[in-house]
């Protein structure tokens, strides 16, 4: 029972942290913020990001307050998960290392899912518009564009998602965290 509760707690925590990462990525990719999904993410993250904006400046049009909020929440979440799983917390250096590593892994996993969904939607429902499809395209295009320059379509088939997915999977294998933090 303890393992199931730990799983539920960790999953809900990771989903909440994912909203902060998505907030930053949606702004970085210049996604439509009138989209219902974008509006949901803004409303969920605003209570923490809005006060941080007074202290954390923007940089080149990017809202760094959402990244600072993500890092602070990730530090707390990592400390909580360490404490629950091991009855202790590592030093502050290791805690920061694991928090940043968890953010990077979340970013890689998120892009893996986004690009995979982008590919499946392009096969199943090409040309149809949906708010979720719009967000997926906005998130996937900045990552796929550089690869498309190097790997042009072959016979009308775009292989760039395949190469990006392989690269993302390789990076996820290289970056490892203890099982209770993954």
DSSP 3-state of 79: helix
| Plot region of 60 (φ>0 → left; ψ -120 to 50 → alpha; else → beta) | left
pLDDT in tens, 154-182: 888 889 999 999 999 999 988 877 666 66
pLDDT 10s digits, 124-137? 877 777 778 888 88
Share of the chain above pLDDT 90, in %: 47
The answer to whether 136 and 117 have CB atoms below 8 angstroms apart is: yes
Question: pLDDT at position 61, please?
Answer: 79
Q: How far apart are CA 148 and CA 122, in angstroms?
A: 16
User: Can you tell me the mean pLDDT for 18-35?
Assistant: 89
Express each pLDDT in 64-104 by its tens digit: 999 999 999 999 998 888 888 787 777 888 889 989 999 99
Q: Confidence band (pLDDT; 50, 70, 90) for 50?
A: very high
Query: Is the confidence at residue 17, as pLDDT, over 50?
Result: yes
Q: Is the pLDDT of residue 1 over 60?
A: no
Is the entire prediction scored with pTM above 0.85? yes
CA angle 177, 167, 114 (to 5 degrees): 85
* CA–CA dist 122, 120 (Å, integer): 5
């Amino acid at each position: 029972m303890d393992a199931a509760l730990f799983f539920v707690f960790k999953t809900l925590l990771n989903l909440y942290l994912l909203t902060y990462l998505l907030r930053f990525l949606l702004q970085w990719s210049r996604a439509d913020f009138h989209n219902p999904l974008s509006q949901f993410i803004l409303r969920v993250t605003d209570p923490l990001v809005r006060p941080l904006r007074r202290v954390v400046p923007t940089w080149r049009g990017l809202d760094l307050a959402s990244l600072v909020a993500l890092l602070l929440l990730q530090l707390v979440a990592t400390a909580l998960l360490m404490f629950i799983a091991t009855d202790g917390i590592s030093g502050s250096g290791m805690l920061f290392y694991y928090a940043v590593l968890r953010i990077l892994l979340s970013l890689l996993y998120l892009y893996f899912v986004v690009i995979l969904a982008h590919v499946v939607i392009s096969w199943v429902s090409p040309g149809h518009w949906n708010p979720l499809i719009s967000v997926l395209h906005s998130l996937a295009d900045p990552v796929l564009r550089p690869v498309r320059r190097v790997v042009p379509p072959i016979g009308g088939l775009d292989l760039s998602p395949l190469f990006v997915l392989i690269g993302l999977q390789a990076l996820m294998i290289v970056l490892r965290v203890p099982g209770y933090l993954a």
